[in-house]
């Protein structure tokens, strides 16, 4: 394996002296390839800390531009970035933070046509999307490709976090939510509002799980769904077992076909 | 006997903002019935006809009731029932 430069030894010294990480762990991080889908509330803090940690390759997938209303929580972008593509703005911030990170930009909407090709370039996927259709697409593609999917979702003051890795025996997203909720059954994204710091907390819990999975340390949220309530400042967790009747990772699920669902979020 | 039910944010408009409420019943179906009596309108958000909506998960303590006895799962004093809906924000 490659030796550290002197600058890297200084930059990552707090990892290198950490018993469960060390030089060996830091090299794993530098060799890791992580795809972050969505450069919004969850993806922004996750990308910043994964970059700071020295994840060697970060893929950023988003087709959207920065809006002023994003800046209350999407901390990788700045006021000067309004109207720029989110991935361009994020790349600039990441490069300024840590030039070790090589950044791949995927300036497109995730679809059944492109998602498998994109995912195939990475070891692990961090789901930072803001809609059900993309969450189902990412899940199904990760199951198909045998990639770990670090899940996070937020609503107003509440967040959910888990790690889906059916190729290692755990459940997938569809073991939690088998089908797309029908239109009108859940509040639409824009009308609901979100406490700005909430996706910060949840996105960093996702980044923590991603780093643990790469290092192979600790007890990840495999088969566990963690719930976080910012108002009561309580966390609790429930068991998330692989469902026998899961339409995607169940034993009788048949071949997986990627689906482009209509977005139920009214704009 | 009183059972604590954890109410997720999207349903707190029915409980006057309360994150946990106390209801009565000895099975999950009775608990959810009493919940709708005390907080009218909440049942419609949980059920699709006679069945719990597929994207709503009900947990008894840390176990999914679908992997226990479904709605007929027994509950007893000290148990906690959690309603966990699908959320998608990011």
- pLDDT of A267 > 50? The answer is no
* Residue A247 belongs to some domain of the structure: no
A38 interfacial to chain B (CB closer than 8 Å): yes
- Read off the CATH number of the domain in which A55 is found: 3.40.50.720
* Residue A67 belongs to some domain of the structure: yes
B19 interfacial to chain A (CB closer than 8 Å): yes
* Residue A73 belongs to some domain of the structure: yes
B13 interfacial to chain A (CB closer than 8 Å): no
Q: Among A174, A184, A206, A164, which Cα is nearest to A40's?
A: A206
* Residue B59 belongs to some domain of the structure: yes
pLDDT at A264: 58
Q: Among A90, A86, A27, A80, which Cα is nearest to A58's?
A: A90
Cβ contact B62–A241 (<8 Å): no
- pLDDT, tens digit, 9 for 90 and up, residues A104-133: 999 999 999 999 999 999 999 999 999 999
- pLDDT, tens digit, 9 for 90 and up, residues A236-266: 999 999 999 999 999 888 888 999 988 755 3
**What is the mean pLDDT of the segment spanning A160-184?**
92
Q: Among A31, A33, A28, A26, which Cα is nearest to A9's?
A: A26
Residues of chain A positioned with their CB less than 8 A from the CB of B6: 236
* Residue B26 belongs to some domain of the structure: yes
* Residue B37 belongs to some domain of the structure: yes
DSSP-derived letter for residue A3 is P
* Residue A212 belongs to some domain of the structure: yes
Q: Which of B9, B62, B86 sits opposite A237 (nearest CB)?
A: B62
- Read off the CATH number of the domain in which B41 is found: 3.10.20.30
Listing DSSP states for B18-29 in one string gives: -SEEEEE-SBHH
Domain region containing B54: 2-85
Task: Record the pTM.
Answer: 0.95
Cβ contact A186–B85 (<8 Å): yes
* Residue A43 belongs to some domain of the structure: yes
* Residue B90 belongs to some domain of the structure: no
Q: How many separate domains does chain B show? A: 1
Q: Among B84, B15, B66, B41, which Cα is nearest to A241's?
A: B66
Contact status, residue A242 vs residue A169, Cβ threshold 8 Å: yes
A135 interfacial to chain B (CB closer than 8 Å): yes
* Residue A120 belongs to some domain of the structure: yes
Listing DSSP states for A226-263 in one string gives: EEEETTTTEEEEEE-PPPTT-TTTSTT--S-----PPP
The tally of CA atoms less than 13 A away on the side-chain side of residue B70 is: 6
DSSP-derived letter for residue B55 is T
Q: How many separate domains does chain A show? A: 1
Q: Which of A135, A153, A239 sits opposite B64 (nearest CB)?
A: A239
pLDDT at A182: 82
* Residue B14 belongs to some domain of the structure: yes
- pLDDT, tens digit, 9 for 90 and up, residues B53-88: 999 999 999 999 999 999 999 999 999 999 999 999
Q: Coil, helix or strand for B21?
A: strand
* Residue B27 belongs to some domain of the structure: yes
* Residue A54 belongs to some domain of the structure: yes
- pLDDT, tens digit, 9 for 90 and up, residues A182-203: 877 776 555 679 999 999 999 9
Rounded to a whole number, what is the largest CA-CA distance in chain A?
56
Domain region containing A129: 7-239
What is the rounded distance in angstroms from the CA atom of residue A192 to the CA atom of residue A68? 17
- pLDDT of A103 > 60? The answer is yes
Torsion angles phi and psi, residue B9, rounded to 5: -50, -45
Residues of chain B positioned with their CB less than 8 A from the CB of A240: 64
Residues of chain B positioned with their CB less than 8 A from the CB of A133: none
Q: Which of A132, A155, A199 sits opposite B10 (nearest CB)?
A: A155
Which residue is it, tokens 């469960």? A20
* Residue A245 belongs to some domain of the structure: no
pLDDT at A249: 93
């Amino acid at each position: 394996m490659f030796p550290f430069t002197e600058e890297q030894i200084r930059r990552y010294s707090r990892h290198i002296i950490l018993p469960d990480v060390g030089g060996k762990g830091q090299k794993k991080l530098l060799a890791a390839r992580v795809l972050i889908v969505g450069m919004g509330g969850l993806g922004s803090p996750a990308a910043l800390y994964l970059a700071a940690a020295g994840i060697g390759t970060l893929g950023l997938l988003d087709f959207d531009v920065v809006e002023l209303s994003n800046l209350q929580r999407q901390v990788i972008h700045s006021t000067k970035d309004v109207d720029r593509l989110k991935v361009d703005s994020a790349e600039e911030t990441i490069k300024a933070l840590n030039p070790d990170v090589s950044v791949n930009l995927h300036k497109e909407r995730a679809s059944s046509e492109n998602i498998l090709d994109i995912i195939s370039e990475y070891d692990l996927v961090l789901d930072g999307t803001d809609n059900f259709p993309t969450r189902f697409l990412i899940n199904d593609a990760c199951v198909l490709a045998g990639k770990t999917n670090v899940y996070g979702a937020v609503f107003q003051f509440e967040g959910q976090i888990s790690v889906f890795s059916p190729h290692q025996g755990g459940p997938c997203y569809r073991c939690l939510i088998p089908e797309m909720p029908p239109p009108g059954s859940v509040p639409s994204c824009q009308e609901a509002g979100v406490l700005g710091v909430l996706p910060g907390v949840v996105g960093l819990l996702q980044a923590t799980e991603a780093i643990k999975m790469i290092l192979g340390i600790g007890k990840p949220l495999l088969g566990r769904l963690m719930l976080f309530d910012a108002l009561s400042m309580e966390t609790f967790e429930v068991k998330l077992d692989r469902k026998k009747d899961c339409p995607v990772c169940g034993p009788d699920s048949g071949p997986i076909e990627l689906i482009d669902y209509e977005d139920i979020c009214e704009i | 006997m009183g059972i604590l039910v954890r109410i997720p944010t999207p349903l707190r408009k029915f409980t006057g903002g309360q994150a946990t409420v106390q209801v009565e019943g000895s099975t999950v179906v009775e608990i959810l019935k009493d919940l709708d009596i005390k907080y009218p309108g909440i049942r419609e958000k949980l059920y699709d006809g006679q069945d719990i909506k597929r994207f709503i998960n009900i947990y008894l303590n840390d176990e999914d009731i679908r992997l226990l006895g479904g709605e007929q799962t027994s509950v007893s004093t000290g148990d906690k029932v959690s309603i966990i809906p699908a959320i998608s924000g990011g």
